Amino acid sequence: MKNRFPQSNTAFFPVSAEDMAARGWDSYDFLIVNGDAYVDHPSFGSVVIARVLEADGFRIGYLSQPDWHSADAFRAMGRPRLGVMISAGNLDSMVAHYTAAKKRRRQDAYSPGNRPGLRPDRATLVYANRVREAFGKIPLIIGGLEASLRRFAHYDYWDNKVRRSLLFDCRADLLVYGMGEAASREIAARLRDGTPISEMTDIRGTSYAARDVSGCPYPKIEVPSFEEVAADKTAYAKANKIEYEEHDPIRGKAILQKHGDRWLITNPPQMPLSTPELDRVAELPYVRAYHPMYESMGGVPAIEEVRFSVTHNRGCIGGCNFCALAFHQGRMMTCRSIESVVREVTALTHHPEFKGYIHDVGGPTANLRHPCCKKQLRHGMCPNRVCLAPKPCPNLIADESDYLELLRRLRKIPGIKKVFVRSGIRYDYMLCDKKDDFFRELVKYHISGQLKVAPEHCIDSVLDYMGKSHIDVYERFQQKYIALNQNAGKSQFLVPYLMSSHPGSRLEDAVALAEYLHKMHRVPEQVQDFYPVPGCLSTCMYYTGIDPRDMKGVYVARDPHEKALQRALLQYRMPENWHLVREALQKAGREDLIGFEERCLIRPYPPKRREGPVKRGRTFGTGENGKTREEKKAPNRREQGRDKAAPGQKGKKVPPQRKNAAKRSGSR
């Protein structure tokens, strides 16, 4: 993989003692340790923190994926003057390493050459232990997604038990949660001024340990202790509910949780960055490339998704229960100015490898750029409901005109051929917008052949547990999408993302979803088995069997075989799933779906095995006429693979014709 971004006047941070000497440094202020490879791009959180601190005048040493088997790599640049900041990377290290089935992943896009194993399991904890070994008593701050989601006592899917707050396991002085620019700047400034880190008990967006709670200046609320939530699932659910409700920068309280003889004190969140502050962060002098030391290793694949993409917002009003966004970035929307995004895209057009295509203008939710309602600005987000599910709040302000103006401005930039929107679109929010301008122009200008959306399921009770809108909302969106494509003379597909085995989903619900897919002529491109990510409400349901929102019981599919049955039902057409689908239908008492009728999911006998390797084509959602692309090409499957025979003769099986290479490459 070629590092196609040319070297700019911006330099990479020093990664070695030699780099420091080349800058004429005999010391530096902060060592930032990161579990991802070093990619100097604003999509990588620890790099953003490093650039923000650099802009405030601090010297930064940057240590990516160090050898954690000893402390030598951590000592290589010498002892930092002010402290060490640690992040596991853009993902929780356990999620980066393991699938939902707890199988080891074979690739890691955030590592050079896609190589797995270049960071340890529980990377924040391992790195913290090595830092203490290398430097002893030094201000130690942990942050990033892994620390953010594990800031309280939490259920750990991989250990299948409740673990302490990561702050205690790491013996860290402070834990920064959420989007950490403001908290990190304040910590760094106080350390520079000589304030002991033990006295930093009032910084929003941080957690710390204390013998008593007198140093916390905020209104407080206590949740059940680590010992209680580890022993009692009802106590765990109560704690999780409060932790979510108080995660609000306007009305949120400090949360207290006892761990043994000490308190975990989590201050209220920082206020989201304002538009000028977001502009400043986005326009810091990033190199926008991976470090040259990875060139011989094949580069860092993760940059390919963001190389010519732009992030314009933060936060998500959706609040889906299985998603980490609500517990990390929060539900309050903030955005960059249109002028800032235009400047970034204009700069990208001057890159020698730029082909005229902006791959994405998005963020957590692409089509949101303003607060959801006027009350939010005064009172914060509602603690007991979300804005869009199961029905839109009557106070919701649905207006996509500012996002539409942004896209229009980007389309007019010289050198731009196409601007795509590929990150999450809230289709339920789109339907609330009384004006169709954005929807029409999205279909006309900004879709690259297919639009991916996430209905997740079709059973309303399951969707309620997910915190998603009901399926009729998706169906209305689909009908409108098809109509707008027809009006625009386009044939673009709608690809639904689906989830199996979410708490509340029984085998019968998975069968109903398979029936729905069959009826709608769908072939799911992606199916995600529910993954219990630390801290999320759905993870609480998975562990406790209790919905923390109302403290009522919820069915949970925990058995790996039942989870496999539910997943197989969503991809019932795959030959390798036939035995699992048959077993699932028999267990659900739905043998009526095994047979030759049109409504049946599978035949009574397994499909014949083909000799030699089988190349599977891509699968798509529905196009304009409600059929998959595969079904358009082969409406009668009995005719596939046979020549037209002369009268009275049987057709002969023939190998499928090879498509022209140029056509094949052009279709991908």
Q: Which pLDDT belongs to residue 374?
A: 86
Closest listed residue to residue 351, CA positions, set 2, 3, 5, 1: 5
Same domain assignment for residues 511 and 634: yes
Q: What is the pTM of this model?
A: 0.89
pLDDT for position 525:
67
602-616 burial, b if ≥16 CB within 10 A, otherwise e?
Answer: beeeeeeeeeeeeee
pLDDT score for 523: 75
Query: Are residue 566 and residue 471 in the same domain, yes or no?
Result: yes
Query: Does residue 267 lie within any of the structural domains?
Result: no
CA dihedral 161, 162, 166, 167 (to 10 degrees): -150
Q: What CATH number did the domain enclosing 523 receive? A: 3.30.750.200
Domain identity same for 513 and 590: yes
Last residue of a domain, one of 419, 448, 477: 448
Residues 458 and 442 in one domain: no
| DSSP code, position 364 | S
Pair 455, 444 in one domain: no
pLDDT at 6: 39
pLDDT confidence of residue 249: 95
Q: Give the list of residues 6+ apart from residue 181 with CB closer than 8 angstroms, or none.
A: 48, 49, 52, 273, 277, 281
Same domain, 421 and 327: yes
Q: Please identify, among 184, 204, 224, the residue that sits at the C-terminal boundary of a domain.
A: 204
Residues 53 and 190 in one domain: yes
Contact by Cβ (8 Å): 282, 344:
yes
Whether 236 maps to a domain, the answer reads no
The answer on 515 and 456 residing in a single domain is: yes
How many Å apart are CA 55 and CA 33, to the nearest integer? Answer: 19
Residue 241 domain-assigned (yes or no): no
Instruction: Kindly list the distances between the CA atom of residue 139 and the CA atoms of 12, 172, 206, 210, in Å, as whole numbers in the listed order.
Output: 24, 8, 14, 16
Contact call for residues 205 and 182 (beta carbons, < 8 A): yes
* 420 and 472 part of one domain: no
Residues 455 and 413 occupy one common structural domain: no
Question: DSSP H helical segments within 401-559, as ranges?
Answer: 401-411, 427-432, 437-445, 460-466, 471-488, 507-519, 537-544
pLDDT at residue number 610: 57
Alpha-helix residue ranges (DSSP H) falling in 37-151: 45-55, 72-75, 93-97, 123-135, 144-149
Is residue 233 assigned to a domain?
no
In a domain, 303, yes or no: no
Which CATH number does the domain housing residue 318 bear?
A: 3.30.750.210
Indicate the length of the chain as a whole number.
Answer: 668
Annotate 533-567 with b (16+ C-beta within 10 A) or e (fewer).
bbbbbbbbbbbbbbbbbeeeebebbeeeebbbbbb
Determine the pLDDT at residue 326. Answer: 87
- The predicted-structure confidence for 507-531, as pLDDT tens digits, reads as follows 999 999 999 999 988 878 678 999 9
pLDDT digits (tens, 9 = 90+) for 340-378: 999 999 999 999 889 999 999 999 999 999 888 988 888
DSSP string, 521-564: T---S-EEE----TT-HHHHHHHHSEETTTTEE-----SHHHHH
603 inside domain:
yes
Q: How do beta strands 83-87 and 140-143 pair?
A: parallel
Same domain flag for 426 and 468: no
- Residue at a domain's end among 146, 170, 204: 204
The first and second tokens of residue 432, run together, are: 């609330």
Alpha-carbon distance of 565 to 562, in angstroms, equals 5
For 651-660, the pLDDT digits (tens) are: 444 444 333 3
Give me 259's structure tokens.
């761990």
Q: How many structural domains is the chain composed of?
A: 3
Average pLDDT along the chain, 668 residues, taken 10 residues at a time: 45 96 96 98 97 98 97 97 98 96 96 96 98 98 98 98 98 97 98 97 98 95 98 98 96 97 97 96 95 96 94 92 92 95 97 93 92 88 89 93 97 97 92 94 95 94 97 96 95 92 98 95 83 96 98 97 96 94 97 96 85 43 45 39 37 39 35
Domain-embedded: residue 331 = yes
What CATH number should be reported for the domain holding residue 100?
A: 3.40.50.280
Measured between alpha carbons, how far is 93 from 148 in angstroms, rounded to an integer?
Answer: 13
DSSP strands (E only) in 369-412? none
| Predicted local confidence at residue 609, as pLDDT | 66
83 is in which domain, residue-wise? 17-204
Looking at the structure, do residues 466 and 438 belong to the same domain, yes or no? no
Whether 120 is covered by a domain: the verdict is yes
